Amino acid sequence: MNVYEAIATRRDVRNEFSGAVIDEERLERLLQAAHAAPSVGNTQPWDFVVVQDRATLSRFAEHVGECRTDFAQSLPADRADTFRPIVIEGIEQSGTGVVVTYDPNRGGSHVLGRHTIDETGRLSVALAIENLWLAATQEGIGVGWVSFYREAFLRDLVRVPEAVHIVAWLCVGPVTEFATVPDLERFDWRSRRPLDDAIHRETFTAREEFAR
């Protein structure tokens, strides 16, 4: 699979985890891919907590279920109906969680490139996640990004120090297949935008019809 094929095949996975647990060698390759990402000031500000303990996975899944209920209750009736069949995590089915964190203190107080734009640190962590996601696709491993959690709960669950931020919980595991259409599109929650709507030439052209 070349890089364009991996980009086209990559999917956020929730329903297609096979139930098997990823083998250590593959997991190591995925983490190596993540660790090879570009980072502001070459700080590599990420860490990865690999979680495979069944009791921890199930405690996290229960918490995510509560956050899902909170979100569902915040929706107007028509959106709540659309949301109902959408699965938002595969925590237990994937067998492995990777908690990805960001340490803003890595690199000391003079990080080259973060001087005027602080968020470049967190952005670097997102690049590590995308590297892992694409490498996983090539390996036949699914990844599902879960953001339905309260940071304090997850911090306590996997003992992340106060000074370190949590960026993501990734469900990582072998899949039966990669869906061709994102779930949010399949269930009419939201579709992708055409590329033409995202491209501007010379200046940013605000177009009201594309704003939402």
The footprint of ligand FMN (CB under 6 A) covers 11-12, 14, 88-89, 145-148, 182, 184
Nearer to ligand FMN, 8 or 112 (CB): 8
Q: Which two tokens stand for residue 138?
A: 């090539």
Amino acid at 86: I
CB-based burial of residue 22 (10 Å sphere; 0-12 exposed, 13-18 middle, 19+ buried)? buried
Q: Which run of H or of E encompasses 50? A: strand 46-51
Query: What is the smallest separation between the CB atom of 199 and ligand FMN, expressed in angstroms?
Result: 19
State which residue, 108 or 194, has the beta carbon closest to ligand FMN: 194
| Residue closer to ligand FMN, measured from CB, 29 or 68 | 68
How far, in Å, CA of 204 to CA of 212, rounded? Answer: 16
Minimum distance, C-beta of residue 109 to ligand FMN, in the bound complex (Å): 28
Nearer to ligand FMN, 58 or 147 (CB): 147
Q: Where are the alpha helices (DSSP H) in the chain?
A: 3-9, 24-35, 54-74, 77-83, 91-94, 120-139, 151-158, 183-186, 195-198
To ligand FMN, the closest distance from the beta carbon of 196 in angstroms equals 19
Given the complex with ligand FMN, which of 33 and 149 has the nearer CB atom?
Answer: 149
Please give the residue whose beta carbon sits closest to ligand FMN in the complex: 182
Q: Minimum CB separation from ligand FMN for residue 94, in Å?
A: 12
DSSP letters spanning 90-132? -HHHH--EEEEEE-TTTTTT--TT-SS-TTHHHHHHHHHHHHH
Minimum distance of ligand FMN from residue 212's CB (angstroms): 16
